A and B are shown apart, each in its own frame.
Chain A
């Protein structure tokens, strides 16, 4: 058996008196999408930051299988190794596109930057790649030289996705990727993400409070409350036959997920 792509073991994090993450464990493989749901303050963003290496855990460990097949604890990586991982094998799609994009740089530059970070210096090839990815995320080639400040919210999210996927990462973290968008724009984005996840066999860790998004995009779910995982399992099982009191409350609070 090969090691899982990502494995979180007993993750804990406190902020002063508040336990933001208590003993969370899970495993993820290529092609699997996992959603973390819960209300604001439930600890889901803390968990995402712990897994993504943006926060150091008080206890527990995240182990990742690198492209060369070795499984390494993230805490054992050198800073250079961690940066390389984040630039190539991982992607981050933020709710606020301004956090994931360079707002003053052209769309083509935003996509090309990650390729250049990998050492590609061939301008023609980088531009060709950028145009190909703009097409894949349904942005007109005529907008390649415009900066994202001139883009709509939905277009910015699609550009963020293109910027991340151009290096063919194996794992993508998404934090409320459809938050704040109009419903019609959300549907287009979700559909695009669904297709890309399936085509590229991506592993995805998705944080959302939108249960319909979780149902559409993910295979498995963790439900968090007060820093703890109160329920986990197959997404449609958790949504259709919730067991924990908190999950029942979440599911019954929305119209139709």
Chain B
């Protein structure tokens, strides 16, 4: 039975992941087993544990970017429930457009496209019209303190922190009910970290659920409703 309890946006059950390295004699590298947790509407669940423990692998499986070994990743889609562990490519792309947003650790730069257009495109994908999408992009970039003279420029030449703010704006531009954040604040200064914390709080208040990892303890303490210790699911010795 694919079922979610009331208010749950995400339910991960018995998830496992093993990499098979065919170029290294078929070595099997177990990473995770028995991963189980839930994310409810308006809740921020933070994955914690030492580096190499498998936090990012969980986020990537929840996005359909890594293949799932065993287990289920149930995601609420209105009245329906999707199991991302079994979804095909089209269903995953559709879920990413409408349901699950993502902020990666680094911006994958697209040649020649201006920062504001990158952010507006994400807003438009989730259903806003052109004008509204642009307005939303401008307001996010302003809140994240990206100097206005940079907005129309492609981010390739921006500093790491500036690129990351474009990345965060892009992730928050849509109307996804579930946002996955992979160390979004790692390259930001205190003022911009605060802006991100405020954005998270606002979206939580409107019912968005978060699954996140944070590099710094301070941010984690301020946004996490629950912390899931990934080491208890890990097959690796802590690095």
Contacts and interface: CB of A to CB of B under 8 A. Distances in A.
Interface of A: 32, 187-188, 190-191, 194, 216, 219-220, 233-234, 236-237, 240-241, 243-245, 248-249, 252
Contacts of B93: 219, 234
Interface string B1-31: 0000000000000000001111100000000
A244 B22 CA distance: 8
21 contacts: A32-B90, A187-B111, A187-B112, A219-B89, A220-B89, A233-B89, A234-B64, A234-B89, A234-B92, A236-B65, A237-B64, A237-B65, A237-B89, A241-B65, A243-B20, A243-B67, A245-B23, A248-B21, A248-B22, A248-B23, A249-B23
B63 to A, nearest CB: 9
B221 interface: no
Contacts of A244: 22
A109 B149 CA distance: 41
Given A237-B66, A241-B66, A245-B23, A191 B92 contact: no
B205 interface: no
B87 to A, nearest CB: 9
Contacts of A249: 22-23
**Dominant secondary structure of chain B at its interface with chain A:** mixed
Given A237-B92, A243-B67, 12 more contacts: A188-B112, A191-B113, A219-B89, A219-B93, A220-B89, A234-B64, A234-B93, A237-B64, A241-B60, A241-B67, A249-B22, A252-B23
A190 B65 CA distance: 23
Nearest to B22: A245
B150 interface: no
A35 B90 CA distance: 15
B110 interface: yes
Nearest to A252: B23
A244 B65 CA distance: 16
Q: Please indicate which of the listed interface residues B20, B22, B89 has the most CB atoms of chain A within 10 Å of its own CB.
A: B89
A192 B161 CA distance: 27
A245 to B, nearest CB: 4
Nearest to B91: A234
Nearest to A249: B23
Contacts of A219: 89, 93
